[in-house]
A and B are shown apart, each in its own frame.
Chain A
């Protein structure tokens, strides 16, 4: 069943975040959520801050918080290029909560604060990844 799996490579400039065989990967690009299954046509997309869900061949699910980056699909291989991404196991929940509260406070003071908006979306993505991974 060689066609039923595809290779997943998630890389950041500092390290290899994750690699493995998967049967499906769900990510959000600028046009909306998109799922990749083995044999997907070549594709390049810009990722939005959101969790990426990887269903591994053994059935387990891996969530990764991806804050920016790209997805490239080619030759039955999905590459996620991200300069900011974390596996669920690497996220510190209390830090993410503190960051969310801080960002919300900054936003209530100044709704146009771009840095705070970005920080809030990052913190929310992290928390979502944790809650999904703990289910």
Chain B
């Protein structure tokens, strides 16, 4: 039936067009989200820097304590993996690359006889590891999109608890680091035990500082400070991951919109050709029909003319 091909194509074009509208909208939303996440990461920086400053002061004062968060186990039997992914998909390779890195770390350490313990942030990681029958110790959802400090505190407390109780001997943090709008990289960092204080201090600007007075004592300050330091580190990782998630989603959605545009062009061409074919066929049929009619009528007239001739 002429025209049916055209109708099918027209319907496909409409559907691709509405998909394109959605991906375009998601792209624009992701773009504003990246900017917001970057700004929040910026705003979190002064706090993190000042905490590091205070640790420098303490190191300068020679405070040495055996805080459980600083203590490394003699033997690593179980490693905790803190994996940050997103709750929602459509973010290109964002989740899969983080998860793949995490699984690789788990596999290599398991080969060395180290057990694993999973602390997952984001629904994607939880779904993946649950499907593959990994045992999940803790799973947090609903925080990775726009993380706030309260969330970081909650997760950090759980992680610190696992570590202090020696359920795990080491904690690795696996997330996507935000380097720039165009570049994000999977990072695997040691989260706990904390590197010792002098190393933290050396990472800051080494400034000659005057002798400090501490209240209550350097050790007391450190004791209160270290958990905050852990929270603050996790918080900046969460903010980084959120910025990466939105940047990845923006890129993925841009590619999808571009693809939709290409597809619409191809389909429109096909549709035009189909319509042209249909029209040509119709004209041929009309011409053919007219020809047949004419032939039929002329063959009827022929005998009469023949008789008149005679």
Using CB atoms and an 8 Å cutoff, list the residues of chain A in contact with chain B: 9, 11-16, 29-31, 34, 41-46, 70, 72, 74, 79, 81, 83
Contact = CB atoms under 8 A, between A and B. Distances in A.
B57 A13 contact: no
B148 interface: yes
A92 B21 CA distance: 42
A30 B220 contact: yes
Contacts of B228: 70, 81, 83
A45 B215 contact: yes
Contacts of B40: 14
Contacts of A16: 43, 46
A81 B212 contact: no
Given A12-B149, A16-B43, A30-B220, A44 B214 contact: yes
Contacts of B54: 44, 70, 72, 81
B149 A14 contact: yes
Contact of B213 (A14, A44, A83): A44
A42 B220 CA distance: 17
Contacts of B57: 42, 44, 72, 74
B110 interface: no
Contacts, number: 87
A70 B215 contact: no
A79 B212 CA distance: 14
Contacts of A12: 47, 149
A29 B47 contact: no
B53 A72 contact: yes
**Chain B binding surface, main DSSP class:** helix
Contacts of B58: 44
A12 B209 CA distance: 24
A19 to B, nearest CB: 10
Interface in B189-231: 209-216, 220-221, 224-225, 228, 231
A72 B214 contact: no
5 contacts: A13-B232, A44-B58, A45-B221, A72-B50, A83-B231
B153 interface: yes
A17 to B, nearest CB: 10
Nearest to A81: B50
A99 to B, nearest CB: 16
Contact of B220 (A15, A46, A79): A46
A45 B50 contact: no
Nearest to B153: A83
CB-CB nearest 9 A-B residue pairs: A45-B215, A42-B212, A13-B149, A29-B215, A13-B47, A11-B46, A11-B47, A43-B213, A46-B224
B48 interface: yes
Given A15-B43, A16-B46, A83 B149 contact: yes
B210 A41 contact: yes
The residue in A9, A14, A44 that gathers the most chain B C-beta atoms within 10 A of its C-beta is A44
B281 to A, nearest CB: 68
Contacts of A30: 215-216, 220
A34 B53 contact: no
Given A13-B231, A30-B216, 20 more contacts: A11-B50, A13-B44, A13-B152, A14-B44, A29-B216, A30-B215, A42-B57, A44-B213, A46-B220, A70-B51, A70-B54, A70-B221, A72-B50, A72-B54, A72-B57, A74-B53, A79-B53, A81-B51, A83-B228, A83-B231
Interface in B39-70: 40, 43-44, 46-48, 50-51, 53-54, 57-58
A56 to B, nearest CB: 20
A72 B214 CA distance: 9
B81 to A, nearest CB: 24
A70 B215 CA distance: 10
B235 interface: yes
A81 B228 CA distance: 10
A16 B213 CA distance: 25
